[in-house]
Structure 1
Amino acid sequence: MAFEGLADRLQGTLQKIRGKGKVSEADVKEMMREVRLALLEADVNFKVVKEFIKRVKERAVGQEVLQSLTPGQQVIKVVHEELKDLMGGEQSKIAVANRPPTVIMMVGLQGAGKTTTTGKLANHLRKKHNRKPLLVAADIYRPAAIQQLETIGKQLSMPVFSLGDQVSPVEIAKQAIQKAKEEHNDYVIIDTAGRLHVDEALMNELEEVKEAVKPDEIFLVVDAMTGQDAVNVAESFNNALGVSGVVLTKLDGDTRGGAALSIRSVTDTPIKFAGMGEKLDALEAFHPERMASRILGMGDVLTLIEKAQSTVDEEKAKELEKKMRTMSFTFDDFLDQLDQVRSMGPLDELLDMIPGMNKAKGMKNINVDDKQIGKVEAIIRSMTKDEKLHPEVINASRRKRIALGSGTTVQDVNRLLKQFEEMKKMMKQMTNMQKGKKKGKGFNFPFMQ
């Protein structure tokens, strides 16, 4: 996950000062040295680091911090606020045209994921804002670029405007806007050509497209994996075109996160979206405050709730609640829940969004392996209908048959059956607590030992 190394270093550094009843300037100085190293190792621009440390230090040694009742926590609050401001402070939303369609130009180098991001953005606008976008294939140079966008359009059941690779991008863009007006599309997203590196010919063509269609937004798609180079690319495009927003791709990968922390400060261009995976629904609006919280181990409950609301079937959720109350939860219901949770994204990322989960006993170095979940699914699918409804009938010979059918061991089957029983007990506790029968009595998830 992005920021993993940075997050570990910062959380470790801040933990030393968190519970201190008294904090001295020397403590702050020592902490700032560690924070500086953590940011530089994350490939954050050195000028950005210098300015960040200066601001935090000035605030952290101020009277309202050092003389407060909880100085350690106040210092962490300062770091959180400055980290949030470094990434833009507030969420930057898409500008909307006074008269539709709103035109968005997607620009960037080859390999950054521009064409896929064009599809992701269209999907985001439709799902989150109920919009009707038109995708425009204006990259006439890269082999199969037009075909790639058309394939994405089919996957999303969205229209793609194309005039082939023998018509100029300027003409394609102009005709696409006319088509959008005729078809009542409220957004036009233009996938423009990229290059392996920034060159004059590329910029001239993009300037011509900009002049012809006067876009409401120009989004620069940047590969977060390229680190400091991403900032240099952003500067070049911004100087030539006046970029209005940045979309960081591959922020879910093994990236140090320096680009995300540097781009806003260096170019004064807001990060509007972050690509968090390869699927066409893996695009998130970028919230500086939420990202700062995740980096500092404070969780991100709002994003978790939004993910749940967009993926969880409301009718199924009500049915599940009823089954929990009546203690009729079965292995089929368990499979349904697994599918819905998995559709929200990688489980380790979901755990990162829960405040304090990284500090919970046994959770620090937990490795959520999708293969283990696949093993659980295989075991359940190897059960008969009766066994799923009544697990108590699963005796020794049935356990051997289920293990053989699922390619697992009897021990794996035993473990799942035990966890399922513990989970049902936990549900009973929750139901009783809601009824007020067991006030104050806590419970543990079976996997949190």
Structure 2
Amino acid sequence: MSTTTELTETTLLRFATAGSVDDGKSTLVGRLLHDSKSILTDQLEAVERASASRGAEGPDLALLTDGLRAEREQGITIDVAYRYFATPRRRFILADTPGHVQYTRNMVTGASTAELTVILIDARNGVVEQTRRHAALAALLRVPHVVLAVNKMDLVDYAEPVFAAIAEEFTAYATELGVPDVTAIPISALAGDNVVEPSANMDWYGGPTVLEHLETVPVTHDLSHCHARLPVQYVIRPQTAEHPDYRGYAGQIAAGSFHVGEQITVLPSGRSTKIAGIDLLGEPVDVAWTTQSVTILLEDDIDISRGDLLVPSKDAPPTTQDIEATVCHVADAPLTVGHRVLLKHGTRTVKAIVKDIPSRLTLDDLSLHPHPGQLVANDIGRVKIRTAEPLPVDSYSDSRRTGSFILIDPNDGTTLTAGMVGESFASPEPVKDESEDDGWDF
């Protein structure tokens, strides 16, 4: 198959940027947008005015993504900034994530749907703890492609040995994590070297520019080929004269495709029936697939409500009340053994208990700290959870949508933890949970 055909079939790439504070993520994104001519004239003029007011000699391209006032005042990225742009070869959805350790949780959000992550490193500083944390998260989130962008090469005289040493160290670390594909590119985002155009200052480098790699990398994480899943969001019963018996189950297809006449199972009840019809944007269709929001009509009347999961009967996942997962803790308050939480999986939210925290990952050497007792903000660890009701969960490696969940504080609704079912660095044997019974044990 030709490259042109492959690019026609994979016209959209979702990618995220990550890296430590001041490594130049926002400048790289601004350079990508600027040099690929993806900026409107009024946007560029606004950036030029803002840059001049701050005393800059030229336009500060980082301001194209640092949209919050606090970000511009502090010179750092705080929120995840999403940008949409296109070239003649591909369309892109970009998530520019914060670099400060305090906002690592935002990187989880930005990379959770990405097919590629660009991790920046300051050539003067090399691989640092936050670099390792971002690489670990990319591995856990099953991001299939990682670009190592060694930035600020102009500040180390474009020295090839500096780039080679950093690329070797990072690639070895990422390989230990299980990252399947790492591409290292030496760049200067500020000067534009190897971002969109090849650098005249690094003739020793013969690989692609950042944009060239983004345009040609294969998009391999395609949810349309996963087992079909539809979390029910809403039950529709208009009860009109035209449709007196209409009963539809609406939601966004999380993975796979559904066909009229297909045998399906409703989980967690386990009841089965056939699809009588599919409505898409008010019109009947024979088939619907991933990311489409549809209404499913069934041949039989079954008790179905928000939070139930519709799946093909031949591909139904098992239901369980015991979930083992690797998590990134994102809240300021720690997660502890015995913690009473709410677990949100798809459109279903149930009570749950943290039964054990078998291990916490040490980022320096990827060793495991056994039974830490708690996870604090930005920790990556292994947890065992018992839910009040059975849940139909997939492995995260099979489906990012139905293999993930979040833990919520039942008192104030704060998101505590993002979890990936079945994902694991080898962990030690669990210890017995001796927390007191306060009415939440299931």
**Is the strand fraction higher in 1 or 2?**
2
Bigger radius of gyration among the two: 1
Of structures 1 and 2, the one with the larger relative CO (CA 8 A, separation 6+) is 1
**Is the helix fraction higher in 1 or 2?**
1
What TM-score, normalized to structure 1? 0.29
